[in-house]
Each structure stands twice: as C-alpha cells, then as structure tokens.
Chains A and B, each alone.
Chain A
Amino acid sequence: MIQAPDLPLWATILVSLLLVAGALVTLVGTLGLLRLKNFYDRVHAPTLGPTLGALLILAGSTICFSVLQSRPVVHEILIGLFVTLTTPVTLILLARAAIYRDRSEGILPVPPDVVSRTAETRVDGDG
C-alpha cells in the first residue's frame, strides 16, 4: 500500500480482505441484475452493494484510519447511515413507476390497486 506506508502488516491484510469481500458482495449484487429475469426480481439484487458491501468496505476504512490515527472513525458511520437511508427511496420510486406501468399495460401479472379491488379475500390475514 503506497498510500499508507505506516500501516502495519496485520492491518494491511485485514483491510485488504474487507475491501475485497465488500467488492465481491457488490459484484454479486450487480450480477443479479443480469441473472434475474423480471424487473421486480432485479430490484432486489443491487441492495447488496449499499448494505453488506458498504458495511465491509466501511469497516475496512474504519480500521485503516483508526490504526493510522489520522482522523476519528465517525465518517464511516455517517456514510453508512446516509447510504442506508437514501437507497430505499430510489428503489421504492422505481418500484412505484414499474407497478404503475404494469397495471396500465397488463403485461406482467401484478396485484391490482387495492383500492379498486372489490373482493376482499386476502385482507383478513391479521395475526
């Protein structure tokens, strides 16, 4: 690591492992975009990156900069918090747009708008 020459060997190994693991998790998530077949299935896959992928990479970053003691580790906590809070907003918007399209075009079998349903068959599953 040329960027951090003062990092001891054990920390270098640990940080590298975390970074590679995080990158792999994110890669699997993006692979899901290719492999899953319809839109609603595909939306699930990229969430791997902002959750576990980000967690592993941020853990690596935390260890790296804590060992170097160049700055406190709270940056990573803030990054994690904001990534986790903002990603779902985009995904929910995409899902809303998709279900609106599918309801009006009727290509994929999607549940109808609950308000317009006349029969209340599945509503009473309250536990």
Chain B
Amino acid sequence: MRLVPHPFLTLALLLMWILLTGFSPGHVLLGGLVAILTSRAMLSLKPEPARVRFGLPMLRLAVIVSADIIRSNIAVARIVLFRPRERKSGFIHLPTELRSPYALAVLAIIVTATPGSLWVQHDARRHIILIHVLDLIDEEEWVRQLKHRYERLLMEIFE
C-alpha cells in the first residue's frame, strides 16, 4: 500500500491548511500529517480515477462561468423586482455528450450555481439532462448556449 494514495488531494489539503493557519514549520508538519491521514479516507470510497487536463480550457471555463453568474444574477434580480408579465418558466431537455461523472458533476454545479437555471435530473441511460429555467423563451436556444459555452470546454478538460 502506498503512503500517499491521492497525491493531488493531499497536496490541496496541505495547501489549504497552510493558507488558513499561516506558514510555519510546525504547521507544515501538522498539516502534512492531517492531509496524509484524511486523504486516506478516500481509499475506502474507491473513487473512479479522474483524467483532468489542466490548461487554457479550464481558465476559459472559469472566466465564462463567472461572467454568466454575474449576468444571470442581474437578470433574476430584475425578474424578482419587476415581475415581467410575459415571463414563462419551464423545463428543458439537454442531450449531452458528457460521460465522465466528474464532468457531469461540474456541469451540475455550474448550471445550478447560475441563478435562473436549475439542474433537476440526469438520465444516465439516454444521456439527457433535465434543467429548469426561470426565464424560458426558446428551448433550442438554451440547449445551444449550454452546449456551446460549457459542454465543449468540459469535453476538452475531462474527456
């Protein structure tokens, strides 16, 4: 058995410990110990190994998502405050090409963290995602936007 089964997780935990407590030899030692021990807990969960490509697509996704979150915040605030009469909410079906559970998890977080759209269900057999949209004008347009903005980049990062 290896001493550090999930090196990235261990490193991330150590980094977080140092960031929260401040840099000193004692904390590096203590944090390292905690990181190694806690990351071993993942062993019993046996997660599927993830293939993640770091690089430009990740950065672009982060920028796009941040911009979209701010924009849809304003859109939802407008709906709540002014209650436009013609607004119609509804469900859309997004056929997806994503298969990696990690990519799907990231997409679920993006869709739900963005005000105005909510991930409701993922049909793993037919690869269709059910999403509720607060301001639904055109289902096709929503599907195209989601595919174009997020799915393409997630494919590059995870698949």
CB distance from A37 to the nearest CB of B (A): 9
Partner of B19, one of A52, A72, A122: A72
In whole angstroms, how far apart are the Cα atoms of A91 and B22 in the complex? 34
Least CB separation from A125: chain B residue? B143
Partner among B76, B95, B139, B144 whose Cβ is within 8 Å of the Cβ of A48: B76
A interface list, Cβ under 8 A from B: 25, 28-29, 31-32, 35-36, 38, 40-41, 43-45, 47-48, 50-52, 55, 71-72, 74-75, 78, 84-85, 87-88, 91-92, 95-96, 99, 110-111, 113-115, 122-127
Binding site for A on B (CB under 8 A): 16, 19-20, 22, 69-70, 73, 76-77, 79-81, 83, 89, 91, 93, 95, 108-109, 111-121, 123, 125-126, 128, 130, 132, 134, 139-140, 143-144, 147
The 5 lowest CB-CB distance pairs between A and B, nearest first, are A88-B112, A52-B73, A32-B80, A47-B115, A114-B123
Given contacts A43-B118, A74-B20, 8 further A-B pairs with CB under 8 A are A28-B77, A50-B113, A51-B69, A88-B109, A92-B120, A99-B130, A110-B91, A111-B91
